[in-house]
Amino acid sequence: MNRNITTILFDLDGTLIDTNDLIIQSFLHTLEKYYPSKYKREDVLPFIGPTLRETFGSMDEAKVDEMIQTYRTFNLSNHDNLVKEYEGVFETIQILKEQGFKIGIVTSKVSDVVLKGLQLTKLDQFFDVVVALDHVEKAKPDPGPIFMALEQLGSTPEEALMVGDNHHDVLAGKNAGVKTAGVAWTVKGREYLQGYGPDFMLDNMRDLLPIVGVEGR
């Protein structure tokens, strides 16, 4: 229990909303166009977390913008059919908001797609601030996005917690000097995320409530 935490920052994809199938299918669609029959599902799992520019840029710097556009076109057109929230998320976020916590999103996704996901899952009503990829110069694990969110919320690192499904989230939190929580439902596996030493591991988003000193319903 930690009532010293007043501010909770969340990653979006793979943390609040289940976009794994959408992301994987978007990568496979894009890579099939540029590298036919080369990539399978397990090959693209490491691409979940880094920015699209980092991933595609490492393959072909000359075609990176074209590949990002192909990815985003497919991603947006299939978004609402493939995205859903994780169990316990809506209830937990609602309780945190009612209890007066300052809550924000820090994501490596661009803001228009972030809003689409939040509106689809009706989570958009709860968040005080969203820091997306197009708001920052450097993405996680750089601490800049977390510092930007804390500044907008009027919070300090000492009173904040970062929740995410990827090592980028844990490292960004550590780099910013905030507490960190990993989610065991990460597509990369619980042990993978635990290896980066988050302060807490959540088996369900409801596990967050006693950590920050709130009783669940």
Catalytic site positions: 11
What angle separates helix 167-176 from helix 144-153, to the nearest 10 degrees?
60
Show the tokens assigned to 38. Answer: 């080369």
Q: Which amino acid makes up residue 178?
A: V
Residues 6+ apart with CB under 8 A from 189: none
Beta strands per DSSP E along the chain: 7-10, 17-18, 84-85, 102-106, 129-131, 160-164, 179-183, 200-202
Residue 49: C-alpha distances to residues 11, 100, 107, 144, 161 (Å): 10, 30, 9, 16, 19
Full DSSP string of 114-150: HHHHHHHTT-TTT-SEEE-GGG-SS-TTSSHHHHHHH
Q: How far apart are CA 13 and CA 179, in angstroms?
A: 20
